[in-house]
Amino acid sequence: MKTLRRLHLILLQLSLTVACALMTQPVLGQAPSANGSSPSGGPGKPVTIPVTIRVKEDGEFELQNIDLTISEDGEPQTIISVRGIGTNSPITLAVLIQEDLVPSVSNEIKALRDFIRRLPKGSRVMIGYLRTGSLQVKQKFTNDLERAASALRPPTGIATAGPYNPYVEVIEALKRFESQPLGRRAILLVSDGLDISRGVDSSSPTQSVDLQRAVNESQRRGVAIYGFYAPTLVAAANPALVSNAQSSLLRLSNETGGIAFFQGLGAPVSFEPFIRELDIALQKQAALTFLSTHLNKGFHRIDVKSSSPGVRVAFPSGYVR
């Protein structure tokens, strides 16, 4: 009996030791400090955002030579990793084209196909069309770049085929990133950016409810949105709406870490200049993951800086938890 009791006490001590060891382990996803806690001494959660690093002088640069710092709601946060820049890293990209764009956009399909074919090996591409009803997915995410490029077709150019609001279907496309691997993520949106679903007032970039929702969803999923402006037949017939349309695309891109491209107030003569700039931007885009210590629900403002001379960083304005 004494032997059994002694054995029971030994097993109990072992159980307590294991339990204490587990309690001192860091929360999954944290960057632990020497004592096993997050830098702030409390729990944290990894957040990944797209950043684009630009240098004043064109040319190659090494990521390890660029010093980045990040703050969230005014407080410094710990960077866990910066992946993808300067390494020809794969990217997950959705190409979205609005169905009722002016006929001249049909001439740009070849250039867009060539752009897809040049993406880094291992990239995953989805092709979708914004039309009446819901998003039409012509090609689900695939790493077969030739297959994705072949799925592109000219928009129909029929006014009744287009959506009153492109942002609802942008949100639908963003949800499809949920099943995709983390890392570099982006949307190429070819659209007029015009929301008239609730009347002319909703076309303002500050009044469109669905534009704000698209910004929130993009920030939450770490997707940078790059916009190519092209007018629809509706916008072309009402030049007064063009300013709101372009301003909406600009806001969408600026607040998600992307870039908006315009060529005056009308349809661009060619997408080639846009695509060249987009190629350069994507080569310098990275996925930055940091340990967020702000776990409350709501909007969290982000600021990314570099102390390296001549370096500018484009990044989302924040995210909604």
The tens-digit pLDDT sequence of the chain (321 residues) is: 444 444 444 444 444 343 333 333 333 233 333 333 444 455 789 999 999 888 766 555 555 567 899 999 999 999 999 887 666 789 999 999 999 999 999 999 999 999 999 999 999 999 999 999 889 999 999 999 999 999 999 999 898 888 888 999 999 999 999 999 889 999 999 999 999 888 877 788 888 999 999 999 999 999 999 999 999 877 767 777 888 999 999 999 999 999 999 988 788 899 999 999 999 899 889 899 999 999 999 999 999 998 888 888 889 999 988
- Other Cβ atoms less than 10 A from the Cβ of 269: the count is 11
CATH number of the domain to which 108 belongs: 3.40.50.410
Give the N- to C-terminal CA distance of the chain in Å, as an integer. 58
Same domain (yes/no): 127, 270: yes
Which position has the token pair 């060891």?
Answer: 21
Q: Which residues contact 207 (CB under 8 A, 6 or more apart)?
A: 201
Closest CA to 290 of 85, 93, 86, 76: 76
Instruction: Note whether residue 3 is domain-resident.
Output: no
Instruction: Note whether residue 98 is domain-resident.
Output: yes
Same domain (yes/no): 315, 277: no
Summarised one tens digit per residue, pLDDT across range 24-71 is 333 323 333 333 344 445 578 999 999 988 876 655 555 556 789 999
Same domain (yes/no): 77, 104: no
Residue 277 tokens, joined: 């700039």
Same domain (yes/no): 78, 105: no
Same domain (yes/no): 103, 190: yes
Same domain (yes/no): 260, 305: no
pTM: 0.82
Which position has the token pair 């997950």?
Answer: 92
Same domain (yes/no): 274, 150: yes
Domain of residue 166: give its range: 92-283
SS (H, E, C) the chain: CHHHHHHHHHHHHHHHHHHHHHHCCCCCCCCCCCCCCCCCCCCCEEEEEEEEEEECCCCCCCHHHCCEEEEECCEEEEEEEEECCCCCCCCEEEEEEECCECHHHHHHHHHHHHHHHCCCCCCEEEEEEECCCCCEEEEEEECCHHHHHHHCCCCCCCHHHCCCCHHHHHHHHHHHHHHCCCCCEEEEEEECCCCCECEHHHHCCCCCHHHHHHHHHHHHHCCEEEEEECCEHHHHHCHHHHHHHHHHHHHHHHCCCCCEECECECCCCCCHHHHHHHHHHHHCEEEEEEEECCCCCCEEEEEEEECCCCEEEECCCEEEC
- pLDDT at residue 99, rounded to an integer: 95
Which position has the token pair 């190409």?
Answer: 95
Same domain (yes/no): 243, 183: yes
Q: Nearest 5°: CA angle at 121, between 108 and 89?
A: 100
Same domain (yes/no): 165, 76: no
Same domain (yes/no): 71, 161: no
- Other Cβ atoms less than 10 A from the Cβ of 176: the count is 17
Instruction: Note whether residue 104 is domain-resident.
Output: yes
Taking the alpha carbons of 139, 144, 150, 152 in that order, is the dihedral positive or negative? positive
Q: Which amino acid is at 265?
A: L
Same domain (yes/no): 129, 226: yes
Instruction: Note whether residue 25 is domain-resident.
Output: no
Domain total in the chain: 2
Instruction: Note whether residue 37 is domain-resident.
Output: no
Same domain (yes/no): 115, 164: yes
Instruction: Note whether residue 40 is domain-resident.
Output: no
Summarised one tens digit per residue, pLDDT across range 302-312 is 999 988 888 88
Q: Distance between CA 193 and CA 211 in Å, rounded?
A: 9
Q: Distance between CA 258 and CA 202 in Å, rounded?
A: 23
Q: Distance between CA 260 and CA 228 in Å, rounded?
A: 6
